[in-house]
Chains A and B, each alone.
Chain A
Amino acid sequence: MATRQTLTILAVCGSGVVSSSMIAQKMEEILKPLGAEAKVIGLLPTSVQTYVEQGGIDFVVATSPIPGTITVPVIKGVALLTGFGEEACRAEITRVAKDILAKRG
């Protein structure tokens, strides 16, 4: 049986921690049915570009705008906190995750 894959996700908010912590658990819920695990790293918006450039990040979920050019998918995550538009947000995350897992083969 294949081992579960891990997706490394940046959770970005103004404090680097508060909204990120709230979102981290949701990532696990969303990835589990895809047979994947979530490794979630909380980060400040201003640190994202450099961090992503170093590699190893699969996608970003953010509750604040992020400056710079980010070369991985960036998904707005506020809907996960408010409940409004949450289904669409989860669907987008699922789609991005599936895409990444498929490309890994």
Chain B
Amino acid sequence: MAILISERLIHLGMAETAKDAAIRKLARGLYDLDCVLEGYVENVLAREETYPTGLPTSIPVAVCHTEARFVRRSALAVGTLATPIPFQEMGTPERQVDAEIIFLLALADPKDQVPWLKKMAGVFKDRAALAAIRDATDPRALEAFLKSTLQEPGTA
């Protein structure tokens, strides 16, 4: 099943300066659209502490997520930050990255989502794509961009 990508799950130029606040704000849309179950955001925050997801990509990002059991329907929430927020670096927690974009993933069945995850991995290495996301000013346009970049053609 395709990942839900929607302007209702996109927040541009977020004013939050703390990672927990930013993640909670991004998660709200996932709850509103019934994509996630109670406990989702608490588990995302807890996971971020033990397995941080900051990536030192050309434009640093965070890729927050948690286990499938908190997810009803796969979706992607994206937030761009007015001020970069420090996240510990994935695999090297003694280092930090100043994330400019937060990708908040809700994956109901990650094994199902492998092609999509591979496309996300492609985006991480694509500075132009990351810049397009970070500098977006119109949520609807960003929704369209993300869909064309991340989804298989022909899916909803």
Contact = CB atoms under 8 A, between A and B. Distances in A.
Interface of A: 13-15, 17-19, 21-22, 24-25, 45, 62-65, 76-78, 80-84, 86
5 contacts: A14-B53, A15-B47, A18-B117, A21-B113, A81-B57
Contact of A81 (B66, B107, B110, B124): B124
B110 A64 contact: no
B73 interface: no
A83 B58 contact: yes
A64 B125 contact: no
A77 B56 CA distance: 13
Contacts of A25: 118
Contact of B121 (A14, A22, A76): A22
A69 B18 CA distance: 35
A18 B124 contact: no
Interface residues of B, number: 29
Contacts of A82: 55-58, 124-125
A63 B67 contact: no
Given A18-B105, A19-B90, A63-B90, A84 B57 contact: yes
Contacts, number: 73
A41 B20 CA distance: 31
Interface of B: 47, 50-51, 53, 55-58, 63, 65-67, 89-93, 105, 107, 110-111, 113-114, 117-118, 120-121, 124-125
A13 B125 CA distance: 19
Nearest to A26: B121
A18 B118 contact: no
A63 B91 contact: yes
A13 B117 CA distance: 14
Given A14-B50, A17-B111, A21-B110, A64 B90 contact: yes
A62 B90 CA distance: 10
A24 B114 CA distance: 10
Contacts of B121: 22, 80-81
A78 B63 CA distance: 12
Nearest to A78: B91
A83 B55 CA distance: 10
A76 B105 CA distance: 23
Contacts of B63: 18
A57 to B, nearest CB: 19
A77 B124 CA distance: 14
Contacts of A45: 51
